[in-house]
């Protein structure tokens, strides 16, 4: 039976605003509600939140596990980075094209990285794309690690949605830098040339910084991206960032 007397309970896990142990409603205890966070490295469900102390403990365990498996956290954008959808096609029959070399890229990076998707598109669209990109769920986890429009806040993309304690060791691959906070752009983002296989894609009118340009057609030379270079750069970053506990950053 739910209680709502305004007192915060001492338990560590809530689901949909209710303590899973004593069933108190968290919204009646604003301080507790504010202190609760989603452990995004474990779940994409916004309803599942844990206390600061449990989050610290889970995070520490995860850091040890990742270090022992020698894995980095890699956050990938979807549109114009891994795939591009033809926006002129019907939503029910949307044409989606994989970036050339993307299968090899994912195959190589999964050995050294835990790969997350972070897109400003809808969750339904992202699920559909991953059914094409990762039908056997070998790269993005099972269930897939997808952060999208409905399970992240509006505004800048926010790495703390995935790693709420310390996101400084995560790497990002995205064709747009203006969607990330400045400090993240400078130190954690590998920006790629947007993949533009379809005519009339509005993305071709944005430059790297997201400003409108006079460009009217995609430069064919930017259609494919040298993923091997990207994988090499990831390896370099991986080597420079993996300290004794996998937490250190050398630059």
Pairing mode, if any, of strands 171-174 and 72-76?
Answer: parallel
- 11 or 97: whose CB is closer to Zn ion? 11
What's the closest the beta carbon of residue 34 comes to Zn ion, in angstroms?
A: 16
For binding to Zn ion (CB under 5 A), which residues are involved?
9, 11, 19, 21-22, 24
- Least separation in angstroms between residue 53's CB and Zn ion is 14
Rg (CA), the chain: 20
Question: Over the range 195-204, which residues count as b (16 or more CB within 10 Å of their CB) and which as e?
Answer: bbbbeebebb
Q: Which is nearer to Zn ion, 9 or 87 (CB)?
A: 9
Smallest gap, in angstroms, from Cβ of residue 160 to Zn ion? Answer: 25
Smallest distance, Zn ion to C-beta of residue 51, A: 10
What is the smallest separation between the CB atom of 23 and Zn ion, expressed in angstroms?
7
Q: What span, in angstroms and rounded, lies between the C-alpha atoms of 38 and 50?
A: 6
Residue 118 CA to residue 182 CA, distance in Å, equals 17
Count CA atoms within 13 Å of residue 50 on its CB side: 17
Sequence-distant (≥ 6) Cβ neighbours of residue 114 within 8 angstroms: 66, 71, 72, 73, 74, 141, 145
Question: Could you tell me the CA-to-CA distances from 61 to 56, 70, 72, 212 in Å, in that order?
Answer: 9, 14, 14, 44
Q: Which CB sits closer to Zn ion, 3 or 158? A: 3
Q: Nearest approach, Cβ of 135 to Zn ion (angstroms)?
A: 41
Between helices 102-109 and 227-241, what is the axis angle to 10°?
Answer: 20
């Amino acid at each position: 039976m739910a209680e709502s007397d305004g007192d915060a309970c001492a338990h560590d896990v809530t689901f949909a605003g209710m303590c899973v142990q004593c069933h108190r409603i968290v919204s009646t205890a604003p301080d507790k509600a504010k202190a609760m966070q989603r452990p995004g490295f474990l779940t994409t469900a916004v309803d599942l939140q844990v206390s600061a102390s449990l989050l610290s403990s889970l995070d520490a365990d995860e850091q040890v596990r990742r270090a022992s498996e020698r894995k980095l956290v890699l956050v990938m954008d979807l549109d114009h980075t891994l795939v591009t959808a033809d926006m002129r096609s019907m939503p029910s029959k949307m044409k989606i094209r994989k970036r050339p070399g993307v299968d090899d890229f994912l195959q190589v990076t999964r050995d050294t990285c835990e790969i997350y998707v972070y897109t400003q598109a809808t969750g339904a669209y992202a699920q559909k794309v991953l059914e094409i990109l990762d039908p056997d769920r070998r790269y993005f986890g099972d269930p897939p690690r997808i952060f999208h429009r409905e399970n992240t806040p509006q505004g800048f993309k926010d790495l703390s949605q995935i790693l709420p304690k310390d996101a400084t060791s995560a790497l990002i691959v995205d064709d747009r830098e203006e969607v990330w906070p400045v400090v993240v752009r400078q130190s954690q983002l590998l920006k790629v040339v947007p993949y533009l296989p379809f005519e009339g894609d509005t993305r071709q009118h944005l430059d790297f910084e997201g400003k409108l340009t006079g460009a009217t057609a995609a430069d064919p030379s930017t259609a494919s991206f040298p993923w091997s270079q990207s994988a090499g750069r990831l390896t370099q970053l991986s080597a420079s960032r993996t300290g004794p506990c996998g937490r250190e950053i050398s630059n």
